[in-house]
Chain A
């Protein structure tokens, strides 16, 4: 105590106090800031090599459709892609990690497929950092903010039924849209990808931004989706779990056919009776 009292008038003391206050402020901010800002922080704090590497990856794999500076292209007759300025790292992570991008064939919908060889968590992070550096946008959520175990599936189910089931079906089996587009099944999607899809609205999907559906509510919905798809089907096949249409179809075609066959078997006559 005495030593502090003695040195508080030291010429360097004011700088020391200022430094202490600043680092305290910074530390508190880093603790309280939403996890999403981490990518921005990474770019700002000298992970510029990610951005540079991402720019090279972009030039090699994406620029033919999205333009050399991600401004988008729209020449008629050739492959064209939208501008990626402002779509954010979350959109890149969703599209590339699920194999939707790079697109193999232009069509009404980019399907989920096996990602090409060069795609791995590092290259996706670099590409995302580059696109994020162009104009901001939603960032990749932290693992904790998409952890299904931390969400409330009951609340999430309510939100899911209000906002998602019209396209994705009540257990996330997907469904058809107009002109060849479709809402994909949610079963192969990781919690991170589900979050990113809600935050960025890939392809025809609407956006559910964080200010109207909060990150906690998104996590609840992820908890619901994961809990539903982990439910077992004790009878064997869930028949796509799309409800009474397939169940009725199987009951009518398989069930009635079996009944008809049984009726034929019961009443079939043996011809030999008439021979004698």
Chain B
């Protein structure tokens, strides 16, 4: 099938259709064969038949001049050819660029995405050029009509409903009405029961971590225990996980620590020295603002910076908040060494780690009150 309708007269080819062209005039009805609606005086659509069968002509219609139309045809055809080539390139890329490792997958993604983009974009651009440079231009007025139903129909529906209500005896039979309402009430409340599926109440889980007396500190990543004598360079920092919970993400979400080594003379009064060992201090890594991992440590200023909202803590002074939205210091974990010289926890944190929660109260004041 070639697109060459001008070679032979159209009439001879009526039974055969050129691909992509509409059916002959006699069969032109894309939306079925029903007669167009007749205006019956109730505000329905303006009764004229659709204009598809008669080309719109008249003074207001502006046809593009021949040169513009030719130019448009050339541009649009060029774009369609580009779209064709890009679609072929898409298929070719799928065959040529095999995936396997990261680099090859990246190349394949680029080739597939790029060729498909070019294909679709050229197709769309070609259509727009077609419309803008080849098709005639005119102002088209589309009448709107009232969307409400005719008055008699509305009346009839209303009557039918009232008659049905009356016949059902909904008002007359009190017991029937009340038991029906009774039956409906629990069904309406059923969604509330589903709230239970949101899980058990946290109880005291937010107040405790897995740290307990004698649990060893391990380096995150290597999962090696830390000998206090090995962690001996002032200005050092390690990210620390509890022994036995190295891969338990639920536990780590609360229990991860940062371990910082100070020169003993750098430690200020805010730090509980009884909870340190030889200048080594352990703080919760979980920011007290909204729980991001706060571990951007500057050894010169002893600042711990949280990357999410720039809360800044003074690690030398008990992780006191010196900037940003955090309301509390990072909790300090009491640490010591065991018989083999490895760092261990003395106990759990004495205040809840991480961000505030509804029932938290002033845990710090409670701890102070105990002392």
Point out residues on A near B: beta carbons under 8 Å. 158-159, 161-163, 166-167, 175, 177-179, 181, 183, 201, 203-209, 211-213, 217, 231-232, 234-235, 265-266, 270, 272-274, 276
Residue contact B110 to A209, C-beta cutoff 8 Å: no
Contacts of B293 in A (CB 8 A): 166
A177-B296, A178-B298, A206-B299 given; A273·B221 CB < 8 A? no
Residue contact A166 to B307, C-beta cutoff 8 Å: yes
Which of B77-119 touch A at CB < 8 Å?
102-103, 106-107, 109-110
Closest to B136 in A: A273
Residue contact A206 to B235, C-beta cutoff 8 Å: yes
A166-B296, A178-B312, A178-B323 given; A206·B221 CB < 8 A? no
Contacts of B272 in A (CB 8 A): none
Is B160 interfacial (CB 8 A cutoff)?
no
Which of B93-152 touch A at CB < 8 Å?
102-103, 106-107, 109-110, 128, 132, 137-139
State in angstroms the CA–CA spacing of A28 and B138 once bound together: 97
Q: Tell me how far the C-beta of B291 lies from the nearest C-beta in chain A, rounded to whole angstroms.
A: 14
A211-B230, A273-B60, A273-B139 given; A163·B238 CB < 8 A? yes
* A-B pairs with beta carbons under 8 Å apart, 22 shown: A158-B221, A161-B221, A162-B219, A162-B221, A163-B239, A166-B295, A177-B298, A177-B303, A178-B298, A178-B323, A205-B299, A206-B297, A207-B235, A211-B229, A211-B230, A212-B231, A266-B128, A270-B132, A272-B137, A273-B62, A273-B137, A273-B138
Q: Tell me how far the C-beta of B37 lies from the nearest C-beta in chain A, rounded to whole angstroms.
A: 30
A161-B221, A162-B239 given; A212·B295 CB < 8 A? no
Closest to B295 in A: A166
Q: Tell me how far the C-beta of A219 lies from the nearest C-beta in chain B, rounded to whole angstroms.
A: 13
Is B53 interfacial (CB 8 A cutoff)?
no
State in angstroms the CA–CA spacing of A233 and B239 once bound together: 31
Contacts of B107 in A (CB 8 A): 234
Is B300 interfacial (CB 8 A cutoff)?
yes
Residue contact B234 to A207, C-beta cutoff 8 Å: yes
Closest to A179 in B: B301
The listed residue (B109, B219, B298) touching A181 by CB distance below 8 A is B298
Point out residues on B near A: beta carbons under 8 Å. 59-60, 62, 102-103, 106-107, 109-110, 128, 132, 137-139, 219-222, 226-227, 229-239, 260-261, 293, 295-301, 303, 305, 307, 310, 312, 323
A-B contact count (CB 8 A): 107
Q: Tell me how far the C-beta of A180 lies from the nearest C-beta in chain B, rounded to whole angstroms.
A: 11
Q: Is the interface of B mostly helix, strand, loop or mixed?
A: mixed
Contacts of A166 in B (CB 8 A): 293, 295-296, 307
Residue contact A201 to B307, C-beta cutoff 8 Å: no
Contacts of B298 in A (CB 8 A): 177-178, 181, 204-206
Q: Tell me how far the C-beta of B350 lies from the nearest C-beta in chain A, rounded to whole angstroms.
A: 26
State in angstroms the CA–CA spacing of A199 and B186 once bound together: 69
A211-B230, A232-B103, A265-B128 given; A204·B299 CB < 8 A? yes
In the complex, the 6 A-B pairs of residues with the closest C-beta atoms, listed nearest first? A211-B230, A162-B221, A204-B298, A206-B237, A209-B233, A162-B220
Q: Tell me how far the C-beta of B239 lies from the nearest C-beta in chain A, rounded to whole angstroms.
A: 5
The listed residue (B103, B222, B232, B299) touching A201 by CB distance below 8 A is B299
Question: Which of B238, B239, B296, B297 is packed against the most chain A CB atoms within 10 Å?
Answer: B296
Residue contact B300 to A212, C-beta cutoff 8 Å: no
Contacts beyond the supplied A175-B296, A177-B303: 6 A-B pairs with Cβ under 8 Å: A177-B296, A177-B305, A178-B301, A178-B312, A207-B237, A212-B226
Residue contact A163 to B221, C-beta cutoff 8 Å: yes
Q: Tell me how far the C-beta of B301 lies from the nearest C-beta in chain A, rounded to whole angstroms.
A: 7
Q: Tell me how far the C-beta of B223 lies from the nearest C-beta in chain A, rounded to whole angstroms.
A: 10
A175-B307, A217-B222, A234-B110 given; A201·B301 CB < 8 A? no
Contacts of B261 in A (CB 8 A): 207
State in angstroms the CA–CA spacing of A270 and B293 once bound together: 58
Question: Which of A158, A166, A209 is packed against the most chain B CB atoms within 10 Å?
Answer: A166
